[in-house]
């Protein structure tokens, strides 16, 4: 079983358990039980969020390393192009944005969609 499948199954289990706890919370009348269940729900939400953050961070690192490897390979083999990833959000002026779009559009090495 690959790691993506394991993580997906674990997230699904947590979400099913969360649903059951939510149903219990709606049924219970005691304040102390409601607070305990609410804390469990919070902990589960926190775990789900942490897993998703780890996945996102891991994906980012993989793309970063692949881009670095491709550029190093391209440089070592005299390739005339380099790779850039677009996961970063940069604030630029409209003029700069237009220049970037123009550069990308005119780049002879850009892969064009069919």
Instruction: Quote the number of domains for the chain.
Output: 1
Residue (of 98, 97, 81) closest to 89 by Cα position: 97
**Residue 113 falls within a domain, yes or no?**
no
Which residues of the chain, if any, have pLDDT below 70?
A: 1, 87, 89, 111-114
pLDDT in the model for residue 114: 42
- Alpha helices by DSSP H, listed for the chain, are 3-27, 31-76, 94-106
**In terms of residue numbers, what domain contains 50?**
3-80
Assess if residue 107 is contained within a domain: no
- Whether 14 is in a domain gets the answer yes
């Amino acid at each position: 079983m690959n790691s993506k499948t394991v993580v997906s199954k674990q997230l699904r289990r947590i979400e099913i358990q969360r649903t059951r706890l939510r149903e219990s919370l709606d049924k219970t009348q005691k304040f102390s039980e409601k607070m305990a269940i609410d804390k469990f729900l919070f902990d589960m939400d926190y775990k789900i969020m942490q897993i998703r953050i780890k996945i996102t961070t891991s994906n980012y690192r993989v793309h970063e390393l692949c881009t670095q490897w491709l550029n190093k390979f391209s440089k070592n083999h005299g390739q005339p192009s380099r790779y850039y990833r677009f996961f970063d959000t940069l604030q630029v002026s409209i003029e700069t944005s237009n220049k970037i779009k123009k550069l990308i559009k005119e780049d002879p090495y850009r892969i064009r969609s069919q």
